[in-house]
Amino acid sequence: MIYFLSLLISIIFIIGSVILISRIAKSLILKERKAAMKHMEMFHLMNRWVEIKRDKHILADYFNEKKIESIAIYGMNYIGNRLLKELSNTAIDVKYGIDVDVRLFYPDFRILRFEDDFDVVDAVVVTPFLHFEEIKCKLREKIDCPIINIEDILYEIEGVHDEL
């Protein structure tokens, strides 16, 4: 009887462990799949940007055509960094960045947290394009200017030049 009871407890323990491990593994796989999809979307966006640059078009022209002279960049990771560099030495004044991580190192460039007060700009460009609608809603409460998705900028530049 004791042997049967200990065998039953061992089987229940093993089954419970397998269920727990499979749930943890499934959660990790879903998390990694989500990250992979995000990076794939970023790759496609950056690829589009490279194609636009290869065709000799610059993002500053987009802002000039829209009469946007000053911007803030929301999201200072890879895409925000590229945008900042592309607009340096152009007529577009990138006044500041907005990011949750203000410890990002950008010499001579101010990065604000969402909680900070924002200076007036002609537009805010959102670089975490997959979360644009959510970010736009939050920014609407803080600043009164156009809030533009970087993806929309690239599509518009690409579309304008495809028509030519």
pLDDT in tens, 56-70: 888 999 999 999 999
Average pLDDT estimate for 24-38: 85
- For residue 21, the Cα-to-chain-centroid distance in whole angstroms is 32
| Ramachandran assignment for 89, one of left (phi > 0), alpha (psi -120 to 50 degrees), beta (any other) | left
pLDDT confidence of residue 30: 86
Predicted confidence at residue 29, as pLDDT, reads: 85
Structure confidence at residue 84 (pLDDT): 95
Q: Per DSSP, which regions of 26-128 are E strands?
A: 70-74, 93-98, 111-112, 123-126
Check whether 162 has a pLDDT greater than 70: no
Task: Give pLDDT tens digits for 67-76.
Answer: 999 999 999 9
| Chain mean pLDDT for the chain | 88
Lowest mean pLDDT, pick from 39-43, 78-82, 109-113: 39-43
Place of tokens 């989500």: 34
**The architecture CATH gives domain 53-163:** 3-Layer(aba) Sandwich (3.40)
User: 88 with 80: CB under 8 angstroms?
Assistant: no
List the one residue out of 92, 83, 89, 96 whose CA is nearest residue 63.
Answer: 92
What is the per-residue pLDDT across 99-120, written as a single tens digit (0 to 9) for each? 987 666 677 889 999 899 999 9
Q: 71 with 121: CB under 8 angstroms?
A: yes
Strand ranges of the sheet holding 70-74, from the earlier edge strand across to the other edge: 111-112, 93-98, 70-74, 123-126, 147-149
